[in-house]
Each structure stands twice: as C-alpha cells, then as structure tokens.
Structure 1
Amino acid sequence: MPYVIADDLPDAPAGQRFRALLERPQILQMPGAHLGIAALLAKQAGFESLYMSGAAMSATMGLPDLGMITVDDVAFHIRQVARASGLPILVDGDTGYGEALNVMHMVRSFEEAGAAAVHLEDQLLPKKCGHLNDKKLADARDMAAKVAAARKARKHLYIIARTDAVASEGMDAAVARAQMYLDAGADAIFPEALVTRDMFAEFARRMPGVKLLANMTEFGRTPFFTAQEFEDLGYAMVIWPVSHLRVAARAMEELYAAINRDGGTMKMLDRMQTRAQLYATIGYHEYEALDSSLVATVIPEGMPQS
C-alpha cells in the first residue's frame, strides 16, 4: 500500500533513516528515481533508498543539465517521490543555487519537502555534468563555506560534498579539497568522474573512515563496476543517477516511432504495463477503498418535488 495513505508513515526524520542505512556494513544502493511512479517501481524491486539526479529532473523538463532548474523545481520532485515511496532520498543539490544563504534556503526547502540527504558540488555556474570536459571549479574555501552553511541550516539532512577536482587539478588536490569539506561539516564525500579502479581505490585509501559515494553512470568516464566491487573498493554508497530516464526515454522514442509508422500502438502492447499492473503499482484500489470508507454514500429517497 502506498505510504501516502498507510497507517505506518515513518516516524523518524528522513535524514535519520538514511544514516541508519549507512550504519549497516553493506553498500547502500540508490537507483535514480525522480518521479513518483519511478519511486514506486524501485521500491517494488526492493531498494531501500533512492537518488534524485539534477540531470534527470532537467531532462524531464526539456532542459540541459547546466544548473538551470530552481529549488522549487527540485522540491516539487522531492515531494512526489517522498510521498509515493516513503523511502529516504539523496538529492542532487548542484552548486547550492547560489552562495551560502542560498544554500541554507535550499537545505530548509529540501528538508521540508522530505529529502534525507543532499550533495553539493564544487563547480562554478554554469555547472556541467561531472563526466564532461572543461568544468570550472570554485575556490575550495568558497565551497567549504557552502558546506558550513548547509550544516548550520540542517535539522537532520545528511550532507555530502562532491568534488570534481580530480579531472583538472589531480588526485592530491581532490583529497585536499575533500578534507577541507569534511572539516567544514560534510558527513560524506563524493569524488566525481574517477576513471580507473586504481583511482577509486586510491581515493578511498586516502580517506580512511570516511563515508564515500560512487557514481555509476552510463556513457561517462567511469568504467562499469558492480555495487559489490565498489563496496570492496571502500565505498559506502553507489548511485545509478540517470539510468531509469535513459531507459524510459528510449522506450518513449520507440513508442512514438511505432505510432507514426503503424498508425497505432497495436505492436507495442508487449512493451507496456497493463492497466491492472499500473493500478497495482500506484495502489488504485487502496485509494478507492479509502475513499469509500471515509465518505458514506447517501442514497436519495423518493423524488424531489417540483
């Protein structure tokens, strides 16, 4: 039954529930799910936490991932995913939507919407996907100030600092930045766009005792590793940020081509959820039953007089 109508809504704040998952020895696996229906399907598959990608949210709005969406845009997505699934969500906070005060506003807005965790990155606007070239880095002290602002504003939100420094400044600089962000109050570190197994291992070796996030995106600079391989390399979390969107976009592309080619959807039925399957996913009958239990039907007696 969907959390939004269940009796067992989580009592603990989302950030506390996220921390509890990280206290377990196994790696925390978070597939991307930035829509309510995706969150329900991921939960149905057995995942206990979800990730919301800025790139996925931007693309859904028909926009590139260049830091163009707003705090309110993201909060809209957080609310639907949190309500639909009840799972703790890690949210992409991009560069914080401005400077320190903007970061504090973001943190409060995300917490109110239901987020469990956020990651901030040390790029300058217009920011880029971490796996693209020519990223412009912020001064490490400015990024540390944003991390400190997030820490000051949060009630329970888990704060992850992302550094994109490896590509342009090297491993030593990335490690130094990461340590500065930890000193400023980050709970964990996200080293973006590492390109070899040895690089992942080295970063983990140089950050002993620190919770680390790995990004397993497709068509980027990182080779394919499984969740278990990341765990063996010393990582506590792994995300597949845009995988769901890539699969869905390809499916929609094929659907529209089929309608245009065949004049209808008759050859695509085997690619679709049935009505019954969709209703089961979204809890249609549970909602229907709840409505009838709350609103008693009044049966008219006789006929009105003219």
Structure 2
Amino acid sequence: MRHGESLRSAIRSDSITPLIGVFDMFSASVAAQHYDGLFISGFGFAASHYGLPDIGFIAWPDMVAFVQRLRLALPRHHLLVDIDDGYVDPEVAGHVVQQLEQLGASGVILEDQKRPRRCGHVDGKQVLPLEEYLEKLDLVLSARRDLVVVARTDATEHDEILRRAEALAQTDADVVLIDGVRSAEAITQIRTVIGDKPLLFNQIAGGKSPRLSLPELSALGVDVAIYSTPCLFAAQEAMDNALIRLRHDDGRLPVLGADGVGVAQSLELLERNISRHHATSGRIGA
C-alpha cells in the first residue's frame, strides 16, 4: 500500500487517527515507539533546525531533507508534513509536494496565511484572499498523485471561518483543518458546514484550542487529531530540569534508576532505525 493511500485509509476508518508532532530524528524515534502516525511540525522544525520561532524561516530544501531521513528510518509510519503556505509561491508549493511524495511522505498541510506568517495559535495571523489560496491549493492537488492533502485556514473571524471551511470542503482536498478553533461548539459548527469531508483538529499546549481527549474529539466528528509540540515542550522541560540538577549537584551525574536512560537505552532506541528499515513486512508503525 502506498503511503498516501495508507494514511487516507486510516482517516476514513471508524476510529480517530492521532498524529504526534516531532521536531528531529531523535524525537521521531521516541514517538514511533508509541504511535503509528507522526506530524512534522513547522513549529518544532523551526525551533530545532534554526533555533527560531515559526514565522516563516523554514526553507523547503531543509524540510525535504528531513523527511527523507525520517522515511529511511521509519519506512511504515504515517508522515504528515507541515509545508506552511507552500513556501509562498504556488509553483514552489507544487514542486515541494512532488519532492515529498517521491520521498515517501504520506501527506501535507497547506495553509492560507500570507506573509509574515505566524504559528496558528498566536495572534496577528493574516490570510490570503480566498480565491488566491484556492488557486494555490488547486496547483498542489494537481501536482500530487497519491499524497493526502490537508487544506487549512487560519481565519479568525467566525463568519469567515465558516465561509472558508465550506469552500475548502468543496475542493478535492482530502481533509479540512481550521487552526486555532476555540471551542467544542465551534468544532460542531464546522463539522456541519463541511458535510462528510474529513476534519482535522490541531491542539498545542498553551494554544487557542481546548484540551480535548480523542473520544471527545471523535464524538464531535473529528477524524484526525494532530499534536504539534508534545515532544518539543517535554524536551525543553526535561533538559532544563536535568541541567538545573546537574548544576545543583556540582556536576555529578545522577544515579541511573531502573527506568532511567543511559548509553545502553539510547543506543537500543537508535538501532531500531536500522533494523526497522531492513524489515520487509509488518503493519503501519510496526
């Protein structure tokens, strides 16, 4: 089964599909132990690759190279890739989609923001005129063969959100995402407007959207849930705490407990990225 077809099948199944945001190869290696689907987060990639906020610094060749390394290590996981606004130009967006599909990406998310762009859960977002975005989306859809395409709007006004959601649902995009949804009631309204088109919900710690469980989201009609930054934020907190302890203990490393991570545990995790690639069969995420 092709990667796009595999993700599309999961999205159309009776159960909600969770995708975990990763920011580098190590976070992906950890997340792959727990989930079948990964989300290559623009927020996380901008932070890890550039040390910068997610406001438009990502260069598409860097993202393509990252996805290539991911697919080599994780041949059977779903890989949904955030391509922001398609790197501004519609022709570039189509080219990047073809590159990613050739490398084995499962899907992409294309947003309707205009530059300077922002994380979907912060203030100050601006969107392109709807027709301009739809032209870019149409080029991306015509460039893909099997890749799942998520059409995303960052509109913030209630009526405009519903207008754009309805328009996106009428395209050939596989899934609709309204980023920064602020309530369960809004999800219900969006679900009604888009009909039977699959709906994706994005939640981020400290973001605009409510904290909802997978069963709660499923009951609201959500088909896909992405978690943009759990690995990134957990890493920041854990590293900060570890270095505070190290400094407090005058540079003496802590005793490695039964559930701790040392050389052996880390190598075991990384060696799976070699052995997994040599496996010739198995379910998605095996």
Flag the 1:286–1:137 CA change in 2: closer, same or farther, 3 A: closer
- The amino acid across from 1:282 in the alignment is L
Question: CA deviation digits over 1:74-102, x for unaligned, max 9?
Answer: 11221222222221211111011022101
- The amino acid across from 2:246 in the alignment is I
- How is 1:9-88 mapped onto 2 (pairs within 5 angstroms)? 12-45=1-34, 47-61=35-49, 62-86=51-75, 87-88=77-78
- Rounded to whole Å, the distance in 2 between the matches of 1:125 and 1:178 is 21
- Rounded to whole Å, the distance in 2 between the matches of 1:131 and 1:25 is 28
Higher RCO (CA < 8 A, seq sep 6+): 2
- Rounded to whole Å, the distance in 1 between the matches of 2:211 and 2:164 is 26
Larger Rg over CA atoms: 1
- The amino acid across from 1:226 in the alignment is S
- The amino acid across from 1:53 in the alignment is S
Instruction: Check whether the contact 2:169–2:195 (CA below 8 A) recurs between aligned residues.
Output: no
Q: CA deviation at 1:162?
A: 0.7
- Rounded to whole Å, the distance in 1 between the matches of 2:30 and 2:44 is 16
Instruction: Check whether the contact 2:12–2:223 (CA below 8 A) recurs between aligned residues.
Output: no
Instruction: Check whether the contact 2:73–2:274 (CA below 8 A) recurs between aligned residues.
Output: no
Q: CA deviation at 1:135?
A: 0.9
Q: Which residue of 2 aligns with 1:302?
A: none
Q: Which residue of 1 aligns with 2:216?
A: 229
1:144 partnered with 2:131: no
- The amino acid across from 2:264 in the alignment is A
Instruction: Check whether the contact 1:97–1:103 (CA below 8 A) recurs between aligned residues.
Output: yes
Q: Tell me the TM-score normalized by structure 1.
A: 0.83
- The amino acid across from 1:64 in the alignment is P
> For this pair of structures, how many residues does the alignment match?
273
Q: Which residue of 1 aligns with 2:107?
A: 117
Flag the 1:265–1:13 CA change in 2: closer, same or farther, 3 A: farther
Question: CA deviation digits over 1:137-181, x for unaligned, max 9?
Answer: 11001110111011111121111011111x2x32x3222212323
Gaps of 5+ in 2: 279-286
Instruction: Check whether the contact 1:49–1:89 (CA below 8 A) recurs between aligned residues.
Output: yes
- The amino acid across from 1:17 in the alignment is S
- The amino acid across from 2:177 in the alignment is F
Q: Which residue of 2 aligns with 1:303?
A: none
Aligned partner of 1:108 among 98, 105, 127: 98
Instruction: Check whether the contact 1:91–1:119 (CA below 8 A) recurs between aligned residues.
Output: yes
Q: CA deviation at 1:115?
A: 1.1
Flag the 1:286–1:107 CA change in 2: closer, same or farther, 3 A: closer
Instruction: Check whether the contact 1:163–1:190 (CA below 8 A) recurs between aligned residues.
Output: yes
SS at match of 2:186: helix
Flag the 1:125–1:57 CA change in 2: closer, same or farther, 3 A: same
Q: Which residue of 1 aligns with 2:207?
A: 220
Range that drifts further, 35-44 or 73-82? 35-44
- Rounded to whole Å, the distance in 2 between the matches of 1:227 and 1:43 is 19
- The amino acid across from 1:202 in the alignment is Q
SS at match of 1:283: helix
1:89 partnered with 2:79: yes
- The amino acid across from 1:208 in the alignment is G
Question: CA deviation digits over 1:14-37, x for unaligned, max 9?
Answer: 111111211210000111123223
Q: CA deviation at 1:130?
A: 1.1
SS at match of 1:32: strand
RMSD: 2.0
